[in-house]
A = this chain, B = another copy of it.
Amino acid sequence: MANTKAELLTIGDEILFGQITDTNSQWMSKELDKVGIRVVRKTTVGDIREDMLAAFKEAEQRADIILITGGLGPTNDDLTKPLLAEYFGCKVEMHEEALTDLTEFFKNRGFELTPVNRRQAELPVCCEYVKNLLGTAPGMWFAKNGKVFVSMPGVPHEMKRMMTEYVIPKLQRTFKTDVIFHKVIKTIGVGESWLADEIKDWENALPSHIKLAYLPSLGQVRLRLTALGGNRENLRKEVDAQIEELKKYAFKYIYGYDNDKIAEAVGAMLKEHKKTLAIAESCTGGYLSHLVTTVPGSSAYYMGSVIPYQYELKVSQLGVKQETLDKFGAVSEETITEMANNVRKTLNADIGVATSGIAGPDGATEDKPVGTVWIAIADGKQTTTKKLQLWKDREVNIKAASIAVLNLIRITLLKSIEINN
């Protein structure tokens, strides 16, 4: 079986000096793994001529595919383009298609091309031009003696788009790769060890060519099934059959697969049930609304939000009773109940949800430590509230509370199906 090897080469002093975190190479590893290309080495060198040329040569000796990120800006400290031209022995010239795309890119934003930016459309004549749909530095594809070098920008969203839309499909066409089939099952609302316990009979019965991994993150656990074999379609069918079996143990936790996001799953459920959503968020400060509105087409079910961060706005904007606030405080079951019900009515939605809590580091009291958060959902007939005791970290608390609300919406909609059937 062919075993195609890749090396990831990152260019940039800022990574060597520890000034930025390299998140690109982990993402690239995962994506390559999915199509059966194995990363055998990762290398990072600085913006130094000799180091870069040496790294090109070494990588070519070890790997079939060399994916380079970084060092592509328009300024003089960016060396990747001239050095690749030198390495492959060809000159750099203006590339007409790249210039057209670049001019268009600037025109769409109402800018003229400056001479410095115009140089970004110059490319080594021995490479194929790779479009950058989200930025100004083009990608470059070099093929030589059965080896492929691809140079991409280091800006994560530009690189990811280029990899997904162009580089990976072309690598799949160019190289004969092993068959690996992955599927990730996304669960929410259960901890890793509890989930492991509930599904242990299923896990123990998995065939030896299908492997399971637990990948926990904030409030969620992803289960990754990896199947190895000769035929992708057969592997897919086997994995799908195993997932059907898994549902007998863990149906209520599963909200999606692979890159599905919880906000997308909840959005699809709201759409299906023809329900609209309104949000009142205090301690989550906009993050819950952001998760909901990141989903394209969310305007089909999302009405809007009120973020009454200050005490007085809970009264003036949401109609929470002053006496409720005075008696029980903003972080209480009584206040969160009014918030969820009132935002539902005020924004004219079917479902209202709310958050109120102590994100930290300030604001804690003796009986309400940092991480105390109340969440609620109201649908006009019934109100469900829940108290969360989260962590000591502000950002983590904001994110965990927002995800807990999305799961509360999911569970409420699941129950309404059960009741109606």
> Which residues of A line the B interface, CB within 8 A?
10, 13-23, 25-30, 33, 38-48, 51, 55, 58, 73-75, 77, 108-110, 114, 116-117, 133-134, 155, 157, 161, 182, 184, 192-194, 196-197, 211-217, 224, 226, 279, 281, 285-294, 296-299, 302-310, 312-313, 316-317, 346-348, 359-363, 369, 371, 389-396, 398
Contact = CB atoms under 8 A, between A and B. Distances in A.
A51 B289 CA distance: 44
A216 to B, nearest CB: 7
Contacts of A307: 279, 286, 289, 293, 304-307
A214 B77 CA distance: 8
A234 B247 CA distance: 64
B317 A304 contact: yes
A133 B390 CA distance: 12
A51 B41 contact: yes
A348 B312 contact: yes
Contacts of A313: 303-304, 347-348
A194 B114 contact: yes
Copies of this polypeptide in the complex: 2
A396 B155 contact: no
A290 B296 contact: no
Given A40-B46, A308-B304, A29 B22 contact: no
Contacts of A212: 77
Of A18, A108, A117, chain B has the most CB atoms within 10 Å of the CB of A18
A417 to B, nearest CB: 26
A285 B267 CA distance: 15
A184 to B, nearest CB: 7
A216 B73 contact: yes
Contact of A391 (B14, B134, B194, B293): B134
A53 to B, nearest CB: 13
A396 B304 contact: no
A108 B391 CA distance: 9
Contact of A26 (B21, B116, B226): B21
